[in-house]
Structure formats: structure tokens, C-alpha cells
Amino acid sequence: MHSNDLLQRSLNAVWHPCTQMKHHERFPLIPLERGEGLWLFDTEGRRYFDAVSSWWVNLFGHCNPRINAALQRQLGTLEHAMLAGFTHRPVVELSERLRALTGNALGHAFYASDGASATEIALKMSAHYWRNSGMPGKNRFLSLAGSYHGETAGALSVTDIDLFRDAYAPLVRQSATVPSPASADASTRAQAAHSAAEALDAWLAEHADSTAALIVEPLVQCATGMAMYDAEYLRRARAACDRHRVHLIADEIAVGCGRTGTFFACEQGGIQPDFLCLSKGISGGYLPLSIVLSTDETYRAFYDDATVRGFLHSHSYTGNPLACTAALATLDIFESDKVLATNLERAAALTRAAAPLQQHARIRNFRRTGMIWAFDVDCDDPQLSRKIFAAGLSHEVLLRPIGRTVYWMPPYIFDDADAAFLVQRTGAAIDAALVA
């Protein structure tokens, strides 16, 4: 099909996400033909290095042969069946393996399809736990300044990003926020974690009776602009939640699955949350899948003869066998390729290669946590992020800056040559955008 035709038809029929559609008058859509490894190819044969893992979901490259093969096997066996009253091998195996990855701390897995639904489920489960425990007044939530937990009405209630929230504010029961421990300057992070932990403790001391849970993005608040913080905050937040009897929800939708260096970001604080939300990378970037892991104690508070004490959340595609199979294949790759260990080398190589960018006159706050790199471009142009996106595409790299923050969240498959390419083309795209 001719690509112009595809573009026009898409503009006529598809409402694209997170987009002011009128901007496509100036910044055309890219019609994709196929993907392979780090690369996306458009219908004109141009290629793009997927430096953002297609919105942070892809871990082992596009059209990964091992995940493809696992999905093809499952396709011939069971594509989907309802999970109420039925079960199947992929969902059981995935739940058991995730439990093992938490050191058996989080033994019960509840399934949905998207990250925002995982947030909704964790919030509902937490409030319902307190209700079942005779404390129905504990039904409010707390999040960090700059938090992002998804964009359905319940998830927006714990999201603190004006752009996503303001238009829908009247629909939302807004939660309170406490100061974020994040700091762009790594040398001030210990202090920032300390004062944010003090503020959290003070807030909980006053409001614990009405608070069900604190929800955090462990180590990196990605959507607000890759705001990174010290793992010490997680330890302090866990202690404060325990002291005041409030649940801790770890939203690892973006930072889980090795993105921060450990399989779960919480591991770096040496803590276990009461609820852990996963999505994005868990299916390798193949299929919509999200999971909420919870403790035995939570599970027991719902275990009863009365239906209304059970967790009441019905989603048609709960535990979809294909999505679970993609997740199992993803976990297989983590094990057989010792991905967390190899990523240490990859991270060091890309960081070394990026030295020239760190010296760039217009680049500030170069920072990294695990397999997330970010820096801020010193420029006031409100069009900067769209200009860098466009310049990136003409330099064969998919960058999607958040405001002035440019970041890389690449799939875990790049080698030294790929790292050099990414750095060189990113620098060139930024230089082009700064004069555009």
C-alpha cells in the first residue's frame, strides 16, 4: 500500500493517543511496515532505532524469534478462555514464577491488560482490605509530587501531572501528594530522600486513619521526566507505612523487569511492597498484560464464605494465555541469557559512549539508573520536544523527549556499535533541533 494513502486513512479513521491531532499537519505520522530487533522500518524502507522501547514496553527487540515461537506454539493450543471458574498452564506458571522472583513475599497474582487497570486494582484491593478488616474509613490514597500511575479516572486520582489531569479534574477524586524524593543533581539525592521521608512521616502521622495506601514509582518517576531518587527513600517509606499501618503500593509498571538494574526496583531498597504492579515490559512488549502481586496477608483478608468479601473486579481478558505465554518467554530470556548481568556491561558501554554528550554545552543533569539514561536540554523553545522527535527521525533514531528531558530506554539487546550509533545520532538530532 502506498504510504501516503495509509497516512491519510489513519488521520481520517484513527484517533492517536497522547496527541493533539492537529499537530500532524506539521509533524506527519510514520507509517510502519515491520520491526526487527532494535529497529522499526517504515513503508518507504527508512529505519528508526527504537531508543524508547516503543513507550517502554519492548525488552528484547521487535519480532524476537524466541517470543514469536512461544506464541506460535500457544496459538495452536489455547488462545483465550475466561479465568473465572477456569485456569490454564500459562497463568499458573507465570504466577508461580513471579512469586519466586519476589522471594515468595508476594504470592498471589491478579491479572488485567493495561497499567492503569493495575493501578485501579491495587487501589481497590487496598481499600477493600481495610474494609474487610473493619476499617472502612481507610479509603484515601497518597502519591508523590510528579507521580504518574495511568490515566483512567481512578489512576488519575493518584497521578500528579497537570497536562494529563487538569481537563478531567472534575471527574476525579484527587488524592493528596507528598514531596518527591527525586533530584536532578545526584549529589543532593541523599538529602532529598531524607527530607521527603520526613515529610511523608509527618503527613501519615496526621492522616493514617483515612489513608489506605501510599503509591510510588520506585527509583524513577518516569513520566514526569525521568526524575531519579535514592533507594533509601523506599526503605524509609516502607518503615513509615508500617509504623502508621498504611499499605505501600509499588508501581513497577515502567521500572520493573530489570529496567533499573535489578528485576524489581524495590529490591534496591531491600523492601517488599504490599502490592506490586507490573505491565509494559512483562510481556516483552508483545501483548497487553498487567499484573498486581499481593501478600498472603492481603489474600487471607478476602478469603471468606461471603461473596462480597471477595475481590470483585471482572475483566474479560484476565490472564489471557497468549499474553501470559509472551511473559513466560520473556522470563525465560532473562534466565537463559543472564540478562541482568549482561545489562551491567551494556549500561557501562553506553554510559562511556555518551561522554561527549555529557560535555555538550546545552546538556544538563546527565543521569542514569540501570537501563534508563536522561538529560535536560537547555532551551526554552516550547516546540523543543517535537523538534527533537522530528530531527531524531531524520537521523534514524526514535526519541520522544518529555518537555526538555531527552531519555533513552532501549531494549536490552544493543551492542557497542549500537551504543555508539545511538549517542552520535542523538547528539546530531539535538544540534539540528536547536537551530530548527
Question: x/- site string to ligand PLP, residues 61 to 90, per CB under 6 A?
Answer: ------------------------------
Please state, in angstroms and rounded to a whole number, the distance separating the CA atoms of residues 11 and 379: 31
- Contact predicate 56/372, CB 8 Å: no
**3-state class (DSSP) for residue 236:** helix
Among 110, 148, 233, 375, binds ligand PLP (CB under 6 A): 148
Work out whether 398 is an interface residue with ligand PLP (CB under 6 A): no
Residues for the chain: how many in total? 436
400 is in an annotated binding site: yes
Q: Is 257 in the site for ligand PLP (CB under 6 A)?
A: no
CA–CA dist 190, 183 (Å, integer)? 9
List the alpha helices (DSSP H) in 147-280.
Answer: 153-156, 162-165, 189-207, 232-244
- Find all residues with CB under 8 Å of 399, minimum gap 6, and list them: 51, 52, 388, 389, 392, 406, 408, 426, 429
C-alpha to C-alpha distance for 306 and 308, rounded to whole angstroms: 5
- In the numeric block, the cell 476499617 is attached to 135
Q: Which stretch binds ligand PLP (CB under 6 A): 115-123, 196-204, 349-357, 382-390?
A: 115-123
Give the Cα separation of 425 and 154 in Å (integer).
39
Among 50, 120, 160, 217, binds ligand PLP (CB under 6 A): 217
One-letter identity of residue 427: G
Does 88 carry a binding-site annotation? Answer: no
251 is in an annotated binding site: yes
Which range in 28-36, 71-79, 148-156, 174-182 contacts ligand PLP by CB under 6 A? 148-156
Q: Which is nearer to ligand PLP, 227 or 329 (CB)?
A: 227
**Shortest distance, position 64 Cβ to ligand PLP, whole Å:** 20
Q: Which run of H or of E encompasses 61?
A: none
Task: Give the per-residue contact string, 337-366, with ligand PLP (x = CB under 6 A; - = no).
Answer: ------------------------------
Residue ranges of the annotated binding site for pyridoxal 5'-phosphate are 115-116, 251, 315-316
Footprint of ligand PLP (CB under 6 A): 114-116, 119, 148-150, 217, 222-223, 251, 253-254, 279
Residue ranges of the annotated binding site are 55, 115-116, 148, 251, 280, 314-316, 400
